[in-house]
Amino acid sequence: MATKRLSGVYTALFTPLKNDCEKRLYNSIDYEKTKLIIDDLISSGVSGIVPVGTTGQSATLSHKQHLDFIRFVVDYIGDRCEVIAGAGSNCTRESVSIINKIMDIKRIPVLCVTGYYNNPPRYGVKKHFETLAEETGAEIVLYNVPGRTNSYITADTVIDLAQNPQFIGLKQAVDFTIGGDHREDTLNIIKATEDMPFSVVSGEDDSLAQLIRDGGTGIISATANIPEALTMMNTIITEARQGNHEKAFELQFQLTPLIQACFSRKNPIPLGTFFNSPLYQPLCSVLETEDGEILRESLLELINSQAPSLKKYHP
């Protein structure tokens, strides 16, 4: 089996904001809080950090903020862990432009999503990614998340693209568990690319143990913003790789409360509560959602019981 390019736990980094605007439209990014988050993740053994993905409020950052935040993260991390920058768009020209500007900061891999809203056919999806590779020369991680995009990269398309070494992996945010809608596709991709450096990583936090058992190599995770969750995910991967699948699934079950908390409202709304940060509209705080006060109290209680590292964000 070829050495896989991506391996371990990659955190889809939350972008914290300051409480410096009453309307919450133009809050400043909180770079000091970002440093605290990054330092905790690196101390907890993160393989890489992925700024400005879905969890990083990519859909509501301005282009300037997008690039400024990536530059900050790259500079602050240095060589302490890998950085993979979110650079997706449903407009091929826009994604090419963003990737090229990221490459001017540093030549790092980029994570690119499928064509949300315009939902192109298979040929359009394939051509989109081929153009990104050709026009930028970047290493690209494909991002399959049809639940948000209503667009799907088929197994045949992934396998075709994987022949180009610029495509280094797939973040598979679909149901690939036993009986899941996309299980056969995921297994076919893993089998077809087993002799390539191409990696398949989970985008579903509650299915990490299953993907590693099936031959996947890691995860890009929102819940892994929580150091305690990150540590447990690393242990799940270690146990599964050693063939201790029963133990891996047991640990996966133990991680369920933190995962359910992070996705109790649309990601990254609960992380806003965990890190005591506002969010850009049209996202809102947990308090402004149905039964918000009850949920907020349960999230704060979870910090006390399972994620004490987050107490520093709640003076």
Residues designated catalytic: 143, 171
SS3 169: strand
Per the structure block, which two tokens stand in for 102?
Answer: 């990221």
Handedness of CA 185, 8, 219, 212 (dihedral sign): positive
Q: Is 55 annotated as a binding residue?
A: yes
**Could you give the angle at the alpha carbon of 40 between the alpha carbons of 89 and 206, nearest 5°?**
60
Joined tokens for residue 202: 């989970």
For 93, the enclosing helix (H) or strand (E) is helix 92-105
Q: Exposed, middle or buried by CB within 10 Å (0-12, 13-18, 19+), for 213? A: middle
Exposure string (b/e) for 268-301, b if CB count within 10 Å is 16 or more? bbbbbbbbbbbbbeebbbbeebeebeebbeebee
Task: State the first-to-last Cα distance of the chain, in angstroms, to the nearest integer.
Answer: 49
Give binding residues for pyruvate as ranges: 55, 220
Give binding residues as ranges: 55, 220
